């Protein structure tokens, strides 16, 4: 594998390695978005980024490392897709709409999240942490809206935070199996409308 | 494998085979409920039902056949656990409570449902059909409640049916990863209370 020594000498091996790692994750994100979990392979990712499989393994020794990096990238892409001035409900719906354009990555998420519930699975820590943060972060956002009088005082923010994340995941699962039958955005909007209509 | 010829002669091979099949599924349900997806094995099921692995393979040639049969048995067990006079919301909560006692089977459900979203997966037809039926069946139940004036006319029953199934699945996933943090029944009750409070 060529390591681009001129660039390495100028900026240090750390920067070069991080950049390479980032381009691999971008390529993997694109490969899985296009082809889905089954057809997305190490070889396809290596081809796209112009390196050998051996070179790829240097950066991601286990396939699970690369898959988790793709999910983390999805979180970044998803957040970047949202207008920072959008309100809480609007942000959720914008992210859900963005996910509809990357079914292969959502499929990857569905497979790994389900498998992560088994003991010792390499994705277990990622999903445990992800859901912890989601519940805590969403509850804090909802609590702030309550303090501003924008969300009714009867809403239990901890229950709403867990429920919103759960609903979203479950809807995406049904949508992957029957894209023409399940409208993720319409269902999320219905839940949020109901939540914000509570006293 | 002994086929119990006396009984076979009396009732025909079909009845004997169906009974044997049923006892294997019961054993597998118990094994997965106790041990979970990783530790539940063909050997453990064969031991429990007192037959060889080869004998077991005669009834269930692929592990996925047996796993899907366990999920179907779960649906039966879950339905049987509910008082037939219970109302809609109460039935949901009783089934959710029953699921808390079989985390290993719920783990099996989480793994297979996620994997079923990939092309060609042996569980794909099961889950596609399951969700179709759940959405249609629940929507019909909710429509009947609307007709009887027990559910507000503003509720979109198709959206509510998909959302309830989705919420439940997503909550169970979070609960498997953090049993002490997520109260599936409390979250489902909160959703149903909100739904039945709508005008």
Q: Residues A78-130: pLDDT tens digits?
A: 888 778 788 999 999 999 999 999 999 999 999 999 999 999 999 999 999 99
User: B154 — contact with chain A (CB < 8 Å)?
Assistant: no
Residue B10, pLDDT > 90, answer no
User: A117 — contact with chain B (CB < 8 Å)?
Assistant: yes
CB contact under 8 A, A115 and B115: yes
> Which residues does chain B have within 8 Å of residue A160's beta carbon, measured at their own beta carbons?
190
CB contact under 8 A, A169 and B169: yes
Band of residue A164 on the pLDDT scale cut at 50, 70, 90: very high
> Any idea what DSSP says for residue A81?
T
Residue A144, pLDDT > 60, answer yes
Higher pLDDT, A5 or A160: A160
Nearest-angstrom CA–CA distance, B117 and A178: 10
> Any idea what DSSP says for residue A75?
H
Residue A51, pLDDT > 90, answer yes
User: B198 — contact with chain A (CB < 8 Å)?
Assistant: yes
Which domains are assigned to chain B?
Answer: 1-61 (1.10.10.60), 74-199 (1.10.357.10)
Mean pLDDT of chain B: 90
Band of residue A6 on the pLDDT scale cut at 50, 70, 90: very low
Cα–Cα distance list, B137 to B90, B128, B164, B199 (Å): 16, 14, 12, 22
B142 neighbors B135 (Cβ within 8 angstroms): no
> Which residues does chain A have within 8 Å of residue B39's beta carbon, measured at their own beta carbons?
119
User: A135 — contact with chain B (CB < 8 Å)?
Assistant: yes
- Mean pLDDT lowest for which of A53-57, B10-14, B47-51, B62-66? B10-14
Residue B53, pLDDT > 50, answer yes
B135 neighbors B162 (Cβ within 8 angstroms): yes
Band of residue B97 on the pLDDT scale cut at 50, 70, 90: very high
Cα–Cα distance list, A6 to A10, A52, A55, A75 (Å): 6, 21, 19, 33
Residue A11, pLDDT > 70, answer no
The confidence score (pLDDT) of residue B34 equals 86
Closest residue in chain A to residue B186, using alpha carbons only: A159
CB contact under 8 A, A162 and B169: no
Band of residue B164 on the pLDDT scale cut at 50, 70, 90: very high
> Which residues does chain A have within 8 Å of residue B157's beta carbon, measured at their own beta carbons?
none
Q: How far is CA B171 from the centre of its chain?
A: 15
The confidence score (pLDDT) of residue A34 equals 86
CB contact under 8 A, A38 and B176: no
Band of residue A7 on the pLDDT scale cut at 50, 70, 90: very low
Which helix (H) or strand (E) segment holds residue B195: the answer is helix B184-197
Burial of B80 (C-beta count, 10 Å sphere; 0-12/13-18/19+):
exposed
The confidence score (pLDDT) of residue A16 equals 86
CB contact under 8 A, B114 and A110: yes
CB contact under 8 A, B115 and A114: yes
Band of residue B35 on the pLDDT scale cut at 50, 70, 90: confident
Average pLDDT of the residues in A4-27? 75
- For residue A3, which phi and psi values (nearest 5 degrees)? -105, 0
Band of residue B11 on the pLDDT scale cut at 50, 70, 90: low
CB contact under 8 A, A166 and B165: no
* Token representation of residue B50: 């007192």
Output Rg (C-alpha) for chain A, integer angstroms: 19
Question: Contacts by A28-31 with C-beta closer than 8 Å and gap 24+?
Answer: A28/A66, A28/A67, A28/A69, A28/A70, A29/A70, A29/A73, A29/A74, A29/A77, A29/A105
Compute, in degrees rounded to 10, the torsion defined by CA atoms A78, B119, A130, B102: 150
Nearest partner of B134 among A187, A164, A185, A182, judged by Cα: A182
> Any idea what DSSP says for residue A116?
T
Here the ipTM equals 0.90
| Total count of residues recorded for chain B | 199
Range picked from A78-82, B26-30, B178-182 for highest mean pLDDT: B178-182
The confidence score (pLDDT) of residue A182 equals 98
Q: How far A17 CA sits from the closest chain B CA (Å)?
A: 33
Cα–Cα distance list, A68 to A61, B108, B188, B193 (Å): 12, 21, 30, 37
User: A167 — contact with chain B (CB < 8 Å)?
Assistant: yes
């Amino acid at each position: 594998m060529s390591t681009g020594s001129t660039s390495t000498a100028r900026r240090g091996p750390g920067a070069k390695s991080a950049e390479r790692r980032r381009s691999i994750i971008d390529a993997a994100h694109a490969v899985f978005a296009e082809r889905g979990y089954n057809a997305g392979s190490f070889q396809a990712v290596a081809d796209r980024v112009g390196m050998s499989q051996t070179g790829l393994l240097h950066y991601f020794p286990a396939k699970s490392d690369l898959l988790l990096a793709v999910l983390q990238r999805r979180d970044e892409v998803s957040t970047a897709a949202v207008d920072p001035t959008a309100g809480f409900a609007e942000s959720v719906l914008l992210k859900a709409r963005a996910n509809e354009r990357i079914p292969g990555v959502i499929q990857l998420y569905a497979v790994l999240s389900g498998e992560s519930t088994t003991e010792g699975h390499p994705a277990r820590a990622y999903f445990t942490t992800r859901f912890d943060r989601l519940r805590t972060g969403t509850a804090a956002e909802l609590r702030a809206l309550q303090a501003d009088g924008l969300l009714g005082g009867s809403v239990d923010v901890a229950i709403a935070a867990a429920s919103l994340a759960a609903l979203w995941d479950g809807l995406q699962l049904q949508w992957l199996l029957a894209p023409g039958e399940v409208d993720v955005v319409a269902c999320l909007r219905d839940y949020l409308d109901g939540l914000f209509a509570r006293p």
